[in-house]
Amino acid sequence: MNNQSNDNEDKFKIIISVGDESGIGPEIILKALFSKEIPYNLDFIIVGSKNNLENTYKNLKSLGIKNIVDPNNYQIHDIQIPFEINKQKKSNGNASFFYLKKAIEIVQKYTNAALVTGPICKKSWSLAGHNYSGQTELLAETCQVKDVGMLFTAKSPITGWRFNTLLATTHIPLCDVPKKLSTQLIHTKLDLFAKFCKTYVNKPLLKVAGLNPHAGEEGILGSEEKDWIKNAVTTWGNQNKGVHVSGPISPDTCWNSSSKAWRDKTAPTHDGILAMYHDQGLIPIKVIALNYSVNTTIGLPFIRTSPDHGTGFDIAGKGIAQSQSMVEAIKAAFDLTKDSRLFNAH
């Protein structure tokens, strides 16, 4: 466990926004920073309420939790946000919003830094008047970036292979997915995906999942694949000879190879799958990778990662929240920035 209170310009910096403090964010941060899996030579700046972090530490200690760090040993950018006792959800949403805003401001001051975000509650943001469908959208707006991607990544502890799934559409109702999808959107997401993968592999192998069951079954179960998705994938592939892309592939089998590569070093690997919508991509990666999955935003001027789970309001304060996904988020933030050409090697 490292004392991180002294800022060192030569160290790689991880800026951590706490997220919604009424959830498990503060707990998993204090647990994750204790982990021996965290690279040693890192400088951490935590953005949130110092008082809340100290109270979380005291509470966890009182519950007999030993494997946690003392927040007083870390640099904390303490932000005081007015709190309305009779409107706790709104107040916590407002605080987590401004923690993220400040964290973005801080990470942009450094060339050797990445951002790790704690989980937030979208409903709480809405109650506080911050109408964003998630942190990704605020990040894109603040950084003035038009095209970003919500990528879920996980490094297998068994094989060392990195499992990547990018979402074509994100936080929208399922009924709106076919309306949102287009050739331009598919091409934009594949552009982002290829650029990301080329930071660590010379010729990426990408797959595109179909939208309908059995990828439409030649128009019998849905016409999108036959009408335009197949052509969109083919056209993009012809224009990007440095990438091998295939699809649309039946969604019920598309991730079979991912499951095998996660468990078996001898299994064929791929570099990423483009999912058409949120749950199509999230279900297989959460089932296969469990707590090793990390949410990252690609297309930003810096790396941003986040644990692949929610606020855990039902278990907050009980000391039972698992911190592996936060550990992986910190590790991935460092890996994706500094050692990207190496992290996919077995």
Query: What tokens appear for 245 in the block?
Result: 């892309």
| Contact yes or no for 125/96 (Cβ under 8 A) | yes
Q: Which residues of the chain have pLDDT under 50?
A: 1-3, 5-6, 340-346
266-304 pLDDT per residue, tens: 999 999 999 999 999 999 999 999 889 999 999 998 999
The residue behind tokens 């036959």 is: 226
- Give the chain's domains with CATH numbers: 1-145+300-346 (3.40.718.10), 146-299 (3.40.718.10)
Residue 65: name the closest of 74, 56, 73, 54 by CA: 56
Residues 6+ positions from 35 with CB-CB distance below 8 Å: 67, 323, 327
DSSP class of residue 161 equals P
Q: Mind giving me the DSSP string for 252-280?
A: HHHTHHHHHHHH-TTS---SEEEESSHHH
Phi, then psi, of 201 in degrees rounded to 5: -145, 145
pLDDT digits over 60-99, tens only?
A: 999 999 999 999 999 999 988 877 767 888 998 899 999 9
Q: How far apart are CA 340 and CA 322, in angstroms?
A: 26
Cα–Cα distance, 152 to 157 (Å, whole number): 16
